[in-house]
Structure 1
């Protein structure tokens, strides 16, 4: 792409005038869109863009987005896949012999999960703030390597204390990945592109959960006893073998942010295009942290309500995030293979609904993020009301555990909403998205110890009742954010008109 072509694509008016969006950047936004209309050419979207948004863009922008998707979506999805693989493997190991071998007959599984969560919480916000100062291509892959190496050490644990310590440091290392990659995705993509990428990224975590179940079943059948290791020990070894190459590739492929990237696969014109796309989107670049900036951030509703929304999402899906399904299956006498593989159906449903939520949000709901969030909350109310009653037919109980996958697919949408709401302040965006994940896991550090106790499995009455109240609170918070965001954008528009 020549310099002159790039300049035309980016500004259509030369450097002497403020940049105006080209035709290839024009998209219709509804009242839920943060961005104002982006130029005079407000063409209707063709049916092709409802399948994939790049199909309506210029050849130059399509070529750039193809490269960007190939790198960011691959690194993000594979990285989140191994994060979940190395995070949920403890549950698969627990129901596959680790419980008996290490004599974990009390609430030790709760404590192991809490140790991971405490490490995750401690590392969350510092890691996300460091991403605004350290190249993500260094920081994120380094943390991936650390947690992969720590995972293999779990295979040699002989005591619960050793497991607690290792899980703490694994959580500490993993804390950077999800909010960090969401921050990077939000730094490269525009509003009409953001939800699909965020949700594809999030879906890879559910795929990691599925794969961990299949992997545990396979190693239990084929590797138990080989080399003197039990099946659950082989799970940790193989997880590390899978994780390390993916982690190391990030050092060479991660593109950092548009304003500092030196990725070898982008031309100078494509980097200029990336910067202009974010300029047209109103997405701010990096700036210093100041007292005034912190005051602005903490006096706004953004950080409080967006954080509350993610807290409710993250802690309201116990039927899938806790080993409720697995322990119920085990209590019914199912084999180790069945206990590990049947719950993967729930994860598969999460993958499917995650993608449906993303596409409908960007197309049917024209950029609105709240409808899928409210829908998932309503599904949660239905299934957790049934499970709280518990004395229901086994067929309906099966259905409830499987339908729990509907509640796990909105994480990407909540982060996309956060990026859009905080898009005009880079540091606020980093801090708010970090706080969303951070505080969700602060709650997760202690809530399961109260309502998801291992000794109360598989009934978990308190856990299911709590999930009902959380679903109601999530729906109310989503409507509150929608109302305040509308009000805020109307105020900004009025102010812009007055200034003009």
Structure 2
């Protein structure tokens, strides 16, 4: 077991130069993608930080307008998923990713000048379209470079970077509120958006210069010709077809991959609702007896993404070590969702139980890394365009449901208990466990069929070679006669 674990940590990179190649890829791909996702989430989640730090009062928010803004963002984010991943098929990632970053940085800074909730809605819609490129686009890139034994860890590190943005955003808002509130006539929450936009731009420049694109079209100056050839040889050769054609669409919708993985992430996305809708912050803001300071409202909820980071790295590493058993996370999510919801329903007046349940629910974030790694694993032997569309469709489907799900079950006007949402969480958590089992069955069936087909091809090639040798021998005898 010890030797197996050491071999796992080394990545089982046995080809000459493979270890050095992986180190380069880890540095340049993960450094850019993780920082991009960190800033993406920082921009996205700081709206909630700003809301509890004075924006609600300054802009005179009413009812569930915050949820409406989040829904508008979700709509834009959903619409951008598939087009952005298809764009990566035609536009080099080193151009596409940084361009999107510059666009959303500008829109983030524009939020600082908003004078009403309605103006924020308009800004957030377009911001969401550009930000939609990051998550699914990175998972497509990771699946293009890394093998099945390497993918889980990298997906986990990438996902954890986004959670770090969620966690650190609260501390950043606290610091800005204390040090810059009122400076040059701007409230602290407005400075938050200005600073978020500015710090995004240097990373965009880094991406323009050094991002390696994909193995087939990379021109990265730090990769040798041998390393580029090795990178191509590490991933299976698959057929290619343009993703913008009727033939491709028919092929896409005739496979089980699109349906099963899209529904998987639709369910999984709603099991993240406690965290993605910032229920702990809303619970504290609307607490019937306790009154929390701005610092407490921003800092206490950071424990949720902290738990998510630990859980993500743990499950991503464990499922890699176990040979890609990503489905284990689906069962963990089912258990977590049922128990945490039941805790809140059973103890509606206990502040400590609510805090404990919301922190525990943060562990559900582990599904982001493992489920997209699962999709990359299963689709490794399919064409890249299909893999790109399935990965994008997963997130698109989840956000399409979440656009109305959050308002129906987790609107800010339901705070502090969200009773309706607790029952919804129990339902989707049970569905998560059932759907995970069905997907495992489909995967096993597909792998068995692929093995049979590979064996048949091998036998046919062997018979063809034998026939060729026999024919050659006969010709030689005939020539001698």
Question: What is the TM-score of this pair, normalised by structure 2?
Answer: 0.91
Runs (4+) off by over 6 Å? none
- The yes-or-no answer on 1:313 pairing with 2:268 is yes
Correspondences of 1:68-467 after superposition (within 5 Å): 68-278=25-235, 282=236, 284=238, 286-289=240-243, 290-330=245-285, 331=287, 332-363=290-321, 365-391=322-348, 393-424=350-381, 425-467=383-425
Please state which structure has a larger fraction of its residues in helix: 2
- The Cα shift of 1:50 comes to 3.4
Q: Is the 8 A contact 1:318 1:464 kept in 2?
A: no
Aligned to 2:463: none
Q: Is the 8 A contact 1:188 1:274 kept in 2?
A: yes
Partners of 2:435 and 2:327 lie apart in 1 by 10
- The Cα shift of 1:45 comes to 5.9
Partners of 1:498 and 1:59 lie apart in 2 by 32
Please say which of residues 85-94 and 475-484 is displaced more in the overlay: 475-484
Q: Is the 8 A contact 1:150 1:166 kept in 2?
A: yes
- The Cα shift of 1:58 comes to 4.7
Q: What is the number of residues matched between the two proteins?
A: 453
Q: Is the 8 A contact 2:282 2:415 kept in 1?
A: yes
Partners of 2:78 and 2:347 lie apart in 1 by 33
Q: Deviations over 1:63-101 (max 9, x none)?
A: 110000001111111000000000001000000100000
Partners of 1:249 and 1:387 lie apart in 2 by 45
- The Cα shift of 1:122 comes to 1.3
- The Cα shift of 1:388 comes to 3.2
Q: Is the 8 A contact 1:310 1:436 kept in 2?
A: yes
CA RMSD of aligned residues (A): 1.6
Against the structure 1 CA distance between its residues 285 and 147, is the aligned structure 2 distance closer, same or farther, given a 3 Å change threshold?
farther
Q: Is the 8 A contact 2:34 2:161 kept in 1?
A: yes
Aligned to 1:34: none
Q: Is the 8 A contact 2:80 2:132 kept in 1?
A: yes
Question: What is the TM-score of this pair, normalised by structure 1?
Answer: 0.88
Please say which of residues 347-356 and 456-465 is displaced more in the overlay: 456-465
Against the structure 1 CA distance between its residues 115 and 415, is the aligned structure 2 distance closer, same or farther, given a 3 Å change threshold?
same
Unaligned runs of 5+ in 2: 460-481
- The Cα shift of 1:274 comes to 0.2
Q: Deviations over 1:315-352 (max 9, x none)?
A: 22222111210122222211110110111111111001
Partners of 1:285 and 1:166 lie apart in 2 by 40
Q: Is the 8 A contact 2:80 2:130 kept in 1?
A: yes
Against the structure 1 CA distance between its residues 377 and 173, is the aligned structure 2 distance closer, same or farther, given a 3 Å change threshold?
same
- The Cα shift of 1:209 comes to 0.3
Correspondences of 1:20-99 after superposition (within 5 Å): 46-53=4-11, 57-58=14-15, 60-99=17-56
- The Cα shift of 1:132 comes to 0.9
Larger radius of gyration: 2
Against the structure 1 CA distance between its residues 207 and 309, is the aligned structure 2 distance closer, same or farther, given a 3 Å change threshold?
same
Q: Deviations over 1:176-208 (max 9, x none)?
A: 111011100000000000011011100101100
Partners of 1:47 and 1:324 lie apart in 2 by 39
